[in-house]
Structure 1
Amino acid sequence: MQSRIIYILFLFTSVISYGQVNISVTPDKTSYNGKDIINLTIVLEMDGDYNQQTPLRLPDFSKFNIIGTGSVSNGYVDPATNTVISQSITRLALEPKQKGKVKVGSFLVTINNKIYKTEPFDIFIKDIEKKPVANNASKDVYLNMEIEDRDVYQDQPTIAVLKVYSKNMDNFRKVKNIHLPEQDNLNVYPVSFAKSEIDPSDYGSMASQILAVFMVFPNEAGFIEVPGVSASVHSYSNKNKIVSNKVKINVKKLPEGSPEYFKNAVGNFNVSVYNASKEKAEVTKPMNVVVKVSGEGNLKDMELPKIAASPDYEVFAPKITPKVSIGLTGMKGEILANYIIIPKKAGEIVIKTEEFAFFDPSSKEYVDLGQQSLSVNAFSHEQILESRTTVEKVNEYTNNFLETVNTPVLKTTSFKVKEKNKFHWNILLTNIGILIGLFIAYLLFKTWQKKRKLIKETVPAKPLGSIAETEEEIREKLKTDINDYFSYLENLKDNEDYQKFFEVVDELDSEVRNQYFQSSVEDFRKFLENYKGSATAEEYRNLSQRIQIEKYAPVKSKEGIEALLKEIVNLYSQISK
Structure 2
Amino acid sequence: MKLKFLILSILFFTGLSLQAQVRFEAKVSKNKLGVNERLRVDFEMNQDGDNFRPPSFDGFTVVGGPNQAVSNRWINGDRTYSKTYSYYLQPNSRGRKTIAQAEITVDDKVYKTTPVDVEVTAAVEKPTDGDDSELIASDNLHLVAEVSDASPYLNEGITVVYKLYVSPRISVSNFREVDSPKFSDFWSQNIEIRELRPENGEYQGEPYRYVVLKKAVLYPQKTGELELEPLTLSVSVDVPSDRRDIFGSRIYKTINKTVAAGTRTIDVKPLPDGKPAGFTGAVGKFSMDVSTTKEKLKASESLEAKVEIRGNGNLNLFELPALEVPSSLEMYSPERIENVTTTLNGKQGSIIDNYTIVPTRKGQYPIKPLNFSYFDPQSETYKSLSSQEIVIEVEEGPATGGNVVAGNNRQSVNLPSEQFRFIKTNTNLKPLDQQAFFRSWTFWGSLFLPFAAIPLFILFGKRRDAKAADVTGNRRKKADRLARKYLSEAKKNLGNQQSFYESLERAMHNYLKAKLHIQTAEMSKERISEILREKNVADETSTEFIEVLKSCEFARYTPASNTAQHEDYEKAVKVISKLDKDL
* Shorter-chain TM band: 0.3 to 0.5
Q: If you compute each CA radius of gyration, which structure gives the higher value, 1 or 2?
A: 2
Q: Which structure is richer in relative contact order (CA contacts within 8 A, separation 6 or more)?
A: 2
Q: Given the two structures, how large is their TM-score scaled by the length of structure 2?
A: 0.37
Q: Given the two structures, how large is their TM-score scaled by the length of structure 1?
A: 0.37
